[in-house]
Amino acid sequence: MANERLRERHLAPSILSADFARLGAQVGEVLAAGARVIHVDVMDGHFVPPITIGPLIVGALADQVHSSGAVIDVHLMIERPEALVAEFARAGADAITVHPEATPHLHYALAAIHEAGCDAGAAICPGTPTGVLVEVGDDLDLALCMSVNPGWGGQKFIAASLGKLARMRSGLPETVALEVDGGVNEDTAGAVVDAGANLLVAGSAVFGSDDPAAAFAQIAAAAGFR
């Protein structure tokens, strides 16, 4: 894995819930609070209904994030993600995660991500069995368990994700980072870590707060990360 950051334990703020009119300042607040993985949710209006962020925004944040020693973790909720991997890599992505539900060519997409010089992740929706990831375990740097249905921030954590995380952890090589995304907050952070996750994405729980830096610190503490 190119980025040792992904194997460490981190709370990864998702900019999806940030104030986009002051995006650089908001990212600066969480970097100053200690964030070292910045999660970017890319949605295409097809795989999921909303349209969000493209390579332009990744490129706009890349210098600020990298100069803090942090990495950009791009979560592609788009159909046929393999077509856009190179563009996100050029924009400054460090890790790129695709959904097997969005492409018939998961193995090819992971190879394309590595070819582009990034770490490769695969994310599965709540209804998708874990076996799809086990088949490509040796080609993965990161496995992402969606603990809500993809598309929106601020949804309730799906409790069955805890057992799923544990199955993912035990079924994948130990070098594969395990990320959980959706409904992570002060109340759920401890349980997802206990289930085996080392990367916790949090959007609304961080940026929905009046003080994102304080919220970041509180959730990281609840996770036992500091």
Q: What residues are annotated to the active site?
A: 41, 181
| Residue with smallest beta-carbon separation from Zn ion | 75
The answer to whether 71 touches 94, Cβ cutoff 8 Å, is yes
The answer to whether 145 touches 159, Cβ cutoff 8 Å, is no
CA dihedral for 150, 153, 156, 162, sign (positive or negative):
positive
Using CB under 5 A, list all residues that contact Zn ion.
Answer: 41, 75, 181
Interface residue with ligand DX5 among 176, 200, 205, 220 (CB under 6 A) is 205
Residue 150 touches which of Zn ion, ligand DX5, none (Cβ within 5-8 Å per kind) = ligand DX5
- Is 45 or 173 the residue whose CB approaches ligand DX5 more closely? 45
Q: Which of residues 11-70 bind ligand DX5 (CB under 6 A)?
A: 14, 16-17, 39, 41
Beta strands across the sheet bearing 37-43: 10-13, 199-202, 177-181, 142-146, 119-124, 95-98, 71-77, 37-43
CA-CA distance, 20 to 56, in Å (whole number)?
13
Binding mask 147-186 for ligand DX5 (x = CB under 6 A): -x-xx-xxx-------------------------xxxx--
**CA 58 and chain centroid, separation:** 14
CB of 41 to ligand DX5, least distance (A): 4
| SS3 state of residue 66 | helix
Q: Does 103 bind ligand DX5 (CB under 6 A)?
A: no
| Residues binding ligand DX5 (CB under 6 A) | 14, 16-17, 39, 41, 75, 148, 150-151, 153-155, 181-184, 201-205
